[in-house]
Amino acid sequence: MRRILAPLFAAAAIAACADQPTATHALLAASPGDSTGDSTGTHRPPGHVVSVTIFQPAESAAVGDSAGFFADARDAAGNQVPNAQFRWTVGDPTVARIEGDFGSSIILRALRNGSTTVTAQSQGAHGSAFLVVVDSLPPPPPDSGAVATVTVSPSVDSVAVGDSSGFFATLRDSLGNIVTGPAVFWSVSDSTVAQVEGVFGTSILLRALKSGIATVTATSQGKSGSGTLVVQ
């Protein structure tokens, strides 16, 4: 992943399709689905967070690059909890520091070789991912120049009026390899629902203006992917 200036959404990475984030592409060796919730069996009312899963759109980070993470909170019925509040922590801040905290998403700056956990907590539940920082990323495979798919994560984000929301775009070639370098163009279907606060290459930061639904689309080399922002 190339350098992204924060604030904005860099790597809970994990995005396998444009419509639904999955936990299959953690940074090198992550346990992205390390969701720890309420394991006591105590009954919790609807909307109470019992599990947190972290997604990250990039698989590795080089020293000096940024990495974005997104947290997804679920209740006991498996429903997404809107407006969940998260507290983010980095296990080793000498490996990566927090550049921007946007509630359900966060951007880190890779500082030196090493590894660290990245944890999001909400209502007593927490999830963690594992970030590995290396000197430099390996050169892309020969076929990686052409973008075949664009995935936007999260697929759906729900925020309150006045809050911010970040979205990440992951570009892949026909072999499924991540493509870095091509320009990404962002658009929002309804600028009265959410306005663009900042575009940082493969990520975008939005400000929720009023209740409604807006589609957030990333396009690169003629390929597009979308996410949905729900403002309550």
Q: What pLDDT is attached to residue 189?
A: 92
The residue ranges of DSSP E strands in 56-193, in sequence order, are 61-62, 66-74, 87-90, 96-101, 105-110, 114-122, 125-134, 149-153, 156-159, 164-172, 185-188
More confident residue, 201 or 18: 201
- Which residue has tokens 């759906």? 156
- Say yes or no to pLDDT of 91 above 90: yes
pTM recorded for the entire structure = 0.54
Whether the per-residue pLDDT at 39 is higher than 70: the answer is no
Residue of 71 and 224 predicted with greater confidence:
224
Please report the pLDDT score of residue 40 as a whole number.
42
104 vs 190, more confident: 190
Q: Domains in the chain, please, with CATH?
A: 142-231 (2.60.40.10)
Higher-pLDDT residue of 197 and 210 is 210
- Please state, as a whole number, how many other Cβ atoms lie within 10 Å of the Cβ of residue 38: 17
